[in-house]
Homo-oligomer: A and B are copies of this chain.
Amino acid sequence: MKERVALIESALAESIPAEWNVPERLKDAMYYSLLAGGKRLRPLLVLAAAEATGAAFVPKAALLAGCAIEMIHTYSLIHDDLPAMDNDDFRRGRPTNHKVYGEAMAILAGDGLLTHAFYTMSEAAAASGLDAPHALALVSELSAYAGARGMVGGQAADMLGEQGVTKLEELEYIHLHKTADLIVCSLRAGARIGRATETQLEALTLFGRSLGLAFQIQDDILDLTGDESKLGKPLHSDEKQQKVTYPYFIGLEASREKVGQLTQAAVDAVAGAGFAKPGRLLEFAQYLMNRDH
């Protein structure tokens, strides 16, 4: 795992070529957030899904696809932290992008990363050797899962919901789109590069939805019971921001049970889809359920 993370870090560090004629401050702002560490969960899932297919796949294609999705994830954090959105001053223990570079540059760094994600995904598609329809599916799915019907829609619902999320279903819509969609996208991208069958892609969609939702509920739980030094942010921030959470609706214990049930559903989906090497995917499910940050 550590070795893979190192590979991903070095691919990300090279993702904006030195020869680009780009204002330095914009490039700095993009790299500031892109290279801020983090679990690199999404690129790791791309690699794990490609590996699960058991097919010969081009590692470079999977690595590039992982970088593309990490760029989307990173831009979304930059924009979500803006004063007009969640107004956060710290992220992973460091000042947020706009606190360092100013709001204008943070908006543009986000736009730049979002745009470059599609360049990087088209490079992944070219490296994958897939034919035109399948190569283009890598691009169009990234857009679908990241855009208005995906992650952006989830964030919009979250913003609108702050004026009062009243139902658990609304909270679930937010989590599914804000978090799960990009996880599903990562899995499908890796599997597509590994030449997965339609059935396998569908199994991974269910795996990713369940895991993404579990991941988010676990976030809610950690915000109440975690270790501040491991989380890199103060506890009870949801409460302070008057955000409704799973524990708020159904209590802490039922939330923990829900994480367990979703993890099992994820495991079952993948176990039944005839993957040649599903081991690492299944490890992920366990890891996410038991994480402390």
Contact = CB atoms under 8 A, between A and B. Distances in A.
Nearest to A85: B104
Interface stretch (A14-22, A54-62, A209-217): A14-22
Q: How many copies of this chain does one complex carry?
A: 2
Chain A binding site: helix, strand, loop or mixed by DSSP?
A: helix
A137 B47 CA distance: 25
Interface in A112-164: 112, 114-116, 118-119, 121-123, 125-126, 130-133, 135-136, 139-140, 142-144, 146-149, 152-153, 155-157, 159-160
Contacts of A102: 84
Nearest to A125: B136
A108 interface: yes
Contact of A108 (B121, B144, B155): B155
Given A23-B157, A143-B116, A148 B30 contact: yes
A16 B140 CA distance: 14
A156 B126 contact: no
A140 B149 CA distance: 23
27 contacts: A20-B148, A22-B148, A22-B149, A23-B160, A25-B156, A27-B148, A30-B148, A79-B108, A108-B152, A108-B155, A111-B111, A111-B114, A111-B147, A112-B148, A112-B152, A114-B115, A115-B148, A116-B143, A116-B148, A118-B142, A118-B143, A119-B143, A126-B136, A130-B132, A131-B132, A132-B132, A136-B136
A-B pairs with the 7 shortest C-beta distances?
Answer: A84-B103, A115-B147, A119-B143, A112-B148, A26-B156, A122-B140, A132-B132
Interface of A: 16, 20-23, 25-27, 30, 75, 79, 82, 84-85, 102-105, 107-108, 110-112, 114-116, 118-119, 121-123, 125-126, 130-133, 135-136, 139-140, 142-144, 146-149, 152-153, 155-157, 159-160
